[in-house]
Structure 1
Amino acid sequence: MKPFTQRAVSIIKSIPKGRVMTYGQVAAHAGSPRGARQVVRILHSMSAKHGLPWHRVLNGKGEISLGGEEGQHQMDALRQEGILFQNGTVNLDHYHYEPLPFEEE
């Protein structure tokens, strides 16, 4: 696994219940501020294998990017964790998670 991917997976795993991060925030903390799309690919391809809490990652507006049943499933999972939506948006100021800074070994 490449270093960016490894860091992103670790960051996503660290998001606690009832908190969220955006794709861009995960990317920035993993070392690539412009890597939001890569985070999307990581979530799509590695969530099941690594048990990632994919539902805790939203777009930069605090919205669910998925449509249909998947989007509804994500919203339901977040609501079960106590996250409230207002007009389909999560208040990022309130529910945002800030992980510890990554340190090179």
Structure 2
Amino acid sequence: MTEPRQDPPDEAQIRRTALYSTLTQVPEGKVVSYGQLAELAGLGRAARWVGRTLSQLPGDTKLPWHRVIGAGGKISLPVGSPSGDEQRARLRTEGITVQNNRVDIRRHGWRPVEHSG
């Protein structure tokens, strides 16, 4: 008699898990770009995939999606959109300065090596 075979998690689920677990490590008051988050999660150059995946999070997610911004510090979500306004408000609450729809990456960018014990 053979044991029932258990299907391994699919590739997409493995990628999402890597993304989410890396995102939870971004500390309050720091931001990371979509591309940097992809690299840190071991997903290579998957910035667009990261953006698409984060856009599909449920509204009540506890993940700090608002800490992910575009390359060069640009906030990708449109000014005046509910999610864009929420992102800017959350960043400001954490002490991050948003000027001209940008965040100063040198000042607020997350560099994990500096933050790991």
TM bracket (short chain):
0.7 to 0.9
Q: Structure 2 stretches of 5 or more lacking a match?
A: 1-8
How many residues align? The count is 100
SS in 2 for 1:94: helix
The residue number in structure 2 matching 1:97 is 110
Q: CA deviation at 1:48?
A: 4.5
SS in 2 for 1:64: coil
The residue number in structure 2 matching 1:69 is 82
Q: CA deviation at 1:38?
A: 1.3
Q: CA deviation at 1:78?
A: 0.2
Q: Distance in 2 between matches of 1:51 and 1:15?
A: 13
- Structure 1 residue aligned with 2:27, among 9, 13, 16? 16
Residues 23, 37 of structure 1: 8 Å contact kept: yes
Q: CA deviation at 1:34?
A: 1.4
Judging by fraction of residues, say which structure has more helix.
1
- Structure 1 residue aligned with 2:42, among 13, 18, 31? 31
Letter of the structure 1 residue corresponding to residue 84 of structure 2: G
- Structure 2 residue aligned with 1:6, among 9, 12, 17? 17
TM-score scaled by length of structure 1: 0.83
Q: Distance in 2 between matches of 1:50 and 1:40?
A: 15
Residues 15, 97 of structure 1: 8 Å contact kept: yes
Higher relative contact order (CA 8 A, sep 6+): 1
Q: Distance in 1 between matches of 2:44 and 2:111?
A: 15
Q: Distance in 2 between matches of 1:5 and 1:49?
A: 17
Q: Distance in 2 between matches of 1:96 and 1:47?
A: 25
Max Rg structure = 2
- Structure 1 residue aligned with 2:94, among 57, 75, 81? 81
TM-score scaled by length of structure 2: 0.75
CA RMSD of aligned residues (A): 1.8
Letter of the structure 2 residue corresponding to residue 78 of structure 1: L
